Amino acid sequence: MQPSLLLKPVSKALIAAFAREGVRVGPSTGPDLIVSTYGFWTAQLAFEYATPFIIAPAPKLTRETPAHMHLKWTIERIKGIAKVDDWKAQQLAAITNDVVRESGLSIDMQAVVFDQRLATTRERILKALRDPDFPPVHASVAIGAGLLPEAMSSLDAHLAQMGPERALGPGGHGTIAEVVARDATYLWQRPPRELREFESAFVDWVHMRDNKPFSAEIGLGFCLLQPYVSAGRRQLPNYSVFSPILHYREGSQWRMSGIPSTSYREAEPFTRGQRPLAEVIGAPVTTLQRAAVCPACMDVFAPASANAPHRCPDGGPHARHLVDTLRARYDSGSTTFTASELNKDSRPRPGSQDGVVAVQALEQFLLTHRATLGLRAFNGTWALMRRPTIMLTAGASPASPLEGA
Ligand SMILES: [Zn+2]
């Protein structure tokens, strides 16, 4: 929706609230008053930056900090626009904050930080959102202020980063690569933030200590969905939901460690009335982009289109062949080895330039995917703790979903 149209009902409510206080402002100034609560000087400017405004009531019990409102800034704008004194402006600023909060208007911070289309205006939006009078409460704003490391990255990189991580929660077991390899999985970008099952995707907070960020988290604005059919309910699937989050601890970089997972139970009788996801999406879940695990490099990916196929990163072993090798080792009882020993049996990925795998590249691969492969490192030696179970089938591609298989 056009941002000006999105702001219109909020603007109407605000002008009515001002009128009840005996203050008349014209309809053209409503949007300026609204955006001042976010730190923008005019609505025109906020629109020029393509600020992604959304109307979305947050869940009642959200982990997210309430949006920071720029009270002092709003008071200044009200004094300028409505020509009232300090005392009246303070009163009207509180009313403005309430009207904006109750409307559910907010800014899609995941889009601001991660959407490539906002690359050119991201800095200006984040600069407006930073309140010089208060330390930031949102990780996104702290990133914009240079207090936290940059977190910008592509969706492809985020999916690849997710693969080796364990699913944490009732929605799944094993690593995300194992989950995706097991059954049809779909990528949902911008799931609805008003449904609690998806709130992890929109986490955005920072804890400051001595004027420095101490810890922070930011959701990536997307999730993976995997339909599953419970025993006795063959027709109606429930869904496992996996929403990646980046974590920060003082003095470190952003990392992804453990993927929050949960279940969306539209098939359960006790939640009858829970909206079917097909209705929320407006199309069957199976029409979403299909995610897959690459059998050659083991990255999780979801190509945007047939014209943008997945490309394996350079170097590293052929993953499917390596998994076969590890299974054979497990079955024969030779479960301890060094990377050099294992490399004698390694094959390069299809299409790799020189036809050999560097030991360091193999070592890095084992380290990254140790949870998926069931490996542990002991003093330069690798130990296979269980038989690798991941199914890397050459034919599994997002273009050929396995529904019903
Ligand atoms: Zn690949």
Cα(135) to ligand 1 centroid in Å equals: 42
Give which of 287, 289, 284 is closest to 305, Cα–Cα. Answer: 289
Cα(160) to ligand 1 centroid in Å equals: 10
Cα(291) to ligand 1 centroid in Å equals: 13
Cα(301) to ligand 1 centroid in Å equals: 8
pLDDT digits (tens, 9 = 90+) for 287-302: 999 999 999 999 999 9
Quickly tell me which residue has 């490391």 as its tokens: 149
Quickly tell me which residue has 């020189």 as its tokens: 354
In three-state secondary structure terms, 206 is strand
- Kindly indicate whether the domain formed by 294-405 is annotated with CATH number 1.10.287: no
| Sign of CA pseudo-dihedral 17, 19, 21, 26 | positive
Residues 177 and 372 sit within 8 Å (Cβ to Cβ): yes
Give which of 370, 331, 327, 333 is closest to 345, Cα–Cα. Answer: 327
Which are the contacts of 335, defined by CB distance < 8 A and separation ≥ 6? 329, 383, 384, 385
- Span 71-99, mean pLDDT? 94
pLDDT band at 394; cut points 50, 70, 90:
low
For the chain, the distance separating the N- and C-terminal CA atoms, rounded to the nearest angstrom, is 39
| pLDDT top residue among 269 and 202 | 202
Give which of 170, 151, 178 is closest to 260, Cα–Cα. Answer: 170
Residues 204 and 138 sit within 8 Å (Cβ to Cβ): yes
pLDDT digits (tens, 9 = 90+) for 249-301: 998 999 998 999 999 988 766 656 578 899 999 999 999 999 999 999 999 99
Cα(77) to ligand 1 centroid in Å equals: 53
Give which of 33, 8, 245, 35 is closest to 129, Cα–Cα. Answer: 35
Cα(293) to ligand 1 centroid in Å equals: 8
pLDDT digits (tens, 9 = 90+) for 301-338: 998 777 778 889 888 999 999 999 999 999 999 999 99
Domain limits, the chain:
3-107, 155-292, 294-405
Cα(211) to ligand 1 centroid in Å equals: 43
Instruction: Check residue 348 and report its DSSP letter.
Output: B
- Residue 399's pLDDT is 42
